[in-house]
Amino acid sequence: MGGADTMRKGYHDLLRREILELIPATAKSILDLGCGAGNLGAALKKRQDCRVTGIELNKEAATIAAKNLDVCICDNLNRYVPPAPHIKYDALILADILEHLISPWTVLKKFTSVLADDGVVIASVPNVAHPRILSNLNAGLFRYEPAGILDITHLRFFTKTSIFQLFTQCGLKIVNFRPWPSAENPVQYHVTAIKPLVEHKQPAVTILILTCNGWEYTKQCIDSIKKNTHTPYKILAIDNGSTDGTVEELRKDRTIFHIENSYNLGMGRGFNIGMMLIDTPYFVLANNDTVVTEDWLNKMLYHINEDDKLLILGPRSNYVSGPQLVKDVPYTTADSLESYAKYYLPREEREITYFPRIVFFFVLLKSAALQKVGFFDEIFSLGNFEDDDYCIRTAKAGYAAAFDNTVFIHHHGSTTFKINKIDYAKIMAENKAKFERKWKPEAKG
């Protein structure tokens, strides 16, 4: 398929030099999905020593591509299954093809299976959140066109966030992402993705970390998870428009997945974007300014599974409202935090305490909560009261919440509000008013 901002004339004949420059010169075996007439593949073969295979639906284009490439298969990507899964490719190319597919998720995942462990996926995807499209939507217009972002043949539409969701869902990590032709005119996005270096092949828990600047805190959080978590897990960081280098650092860490949002979407909406991708029996919601301690996850999993009705389990902490708080903690360093959590955390009579309100600065949930309770209500802006609302809905659904007296998680506290100069008191008051309007009898009681 041709570029998102080109006319259909010559649609299959485009070289796509901007895509060519993204493909590694070291790639020896390349698969071009939707290869058109094979001009990109021909340029690759001229530039480097490689074997290029193409798949193209258009018969006329496929006939030409067969002369330009080593192999061209005329078939429909929606139904095509790689006949030799043991054959691996150093690079997969999807130049303006995902938006034409019935199920981009199915096709991308299917072909990811023939990507070499150190291979790359190069894709270009039209951006339906382009300012021109948004302007038309504000005027009540969504007009299909002969070519471009609203090409009449497009079946799926993507934004920056949903592109990251798509690739993450298919087990791929985006390591480079650029608007094209410019940030001011983002007609499409160019994606470079790889298979992440995932330590656990079958994780039991997805740990969602919400970030918005404050990389030094995020790094501390991720490092503590890697050091102190021994149950199989995977990390998915959801970034809310960071500008301090957080995005660049997340892209560099090949051991985690991440999603990049264009703006600060707040806690509820930000976490919802990650929760849509949960495919493990449990998940954790974590503020980026938290630090976990030794064997925290194993303990919490043991306790949450003691009761079928228990969906939500929080820890104790130094910075939290309500009975989860441990006052006057004595530690001052990372080492003394570990010792405190292991030896000196006050021992309660019960290992877990049932309580109707758990603070979601850090919390473990059974994934069944997504079916039994649902996602966060996005009426609450930026942060505060999403967790109160969720706990009430959990109780109304007939399920329970509790906190674990054997697990201590350090919380720096409200760093996102401070770093981003957000008026905490103002947001708190606004969300409290929304909460009270929604739950009048319960809130007043």
Q: pLDDT by residue for the chain (445 residues), tens digit each?
A: 433 333 344 556 677 899 999 999 999 999 999 999 999 999 999 999 999 999 999 999 999 999 999 999 999 999 999 887 789 999 999 999 999 999 999 999 999 999 999 999 999 999 999 999 999 999 999 999 999 999 999 999 999 999 999 999 999 999 999 999 999 999 999 999 999 998 778 999 999 999 999 999 999 999 999 999 999 999 999 999 999 999 999 999 999 999 999 999 999 999 999 999 999 999 999 999 999 999 999 999 999 999 999 999 999 999 999 999 999 999 999 889 999 998 889 888 899 999 999 999 999 999 999 999 999 999 998 888 999 999 999 999 999 999 999 999 999 987 888 888 888 889 889 999 999 999 986 544 4
Q: What's 347's DSSP letter? A: P
Tell me if 404 sits within 8 A of 354, measured CB to CB. no
What is the number of structural domains in the chain? 2
335 shares a domain with 234: yes
State the residue for tokens 């770093």. 419
Which tokens is 167 given?
A: 């690739």
Is the previous residue joined to 323 through a cis bond, with omega within 30 degrees of 0?
Answer: no
221 shares a domain with 100: no
86 shares a domain with 15: yes
Tell me the residue range of the domain where 380 lies.
Answer: 205-444
d(CA 78, CA 105): 10
What pLDDT is recorded for position 13? Answer: 65
Q: What CATH number does residue 274 fall under?
A: 3.90.550.10
Note whether residue 54 is domain-resident: yes
What pLDDT is recorded for position 418? Answer: 87
243 shares a domain with 216: yes
388 shares a domain with 239: yes
**Mapping DSSP to helix (H, G, I), strand (E, B) and coil, where does residue 108 land?**
helix
The total of other beta-carbon atoms located within 10 Å of residue 226's CB is 15
d(CA 305, CA 309): 9
Q: What CATH number does residue 157 fall under?
A: 3.40.50.150
Tell me if 265 sits within 8 A of 273, measured CB to CB. yes
Q: What are phi and psi of 78, to 5 degrees?
A: -65, -30
Note whether residue 2 is domain-resident: no
Note whether residue 67 is domain-resident: yes
Long-range contact pairs involving 181-186 (C-beta distance under 8 Å, separation at least 24): 181/5, 181/18, 185/130, 186/127, 186/129, 186/130
Note whether residue 4 is domain-resident: no
282 shares a domain with 139: no
What pLDDT is recorded for position 334? Answer: 87
Note whether residue 5 is domain-resident: no
Q: What is the pTM of this model?
A: 0.93
What pLDDT is recorded for position 10? Answer: 52
162 shares a domain with 210: no
Domain end position, chosen among 194, 226, 253: 194
Note whether residue 200 is domain-resident: no
212 shares a domain with 180: no
215 shares a domain with 178: no
DSSP for 20-85 reads HTTS-TT--EEEEET-TTSHHHHHHHHHSS-EEEEEES-HHHHHHHHHHSSEEEE--TTT---S-T
Q: Name the residue type at position 299.
A: K
279 shares a domain with 170: no
236 shares a domain with 182: no
d(CA 79, CA 77): 5
d(CA 45, CA 68): 9
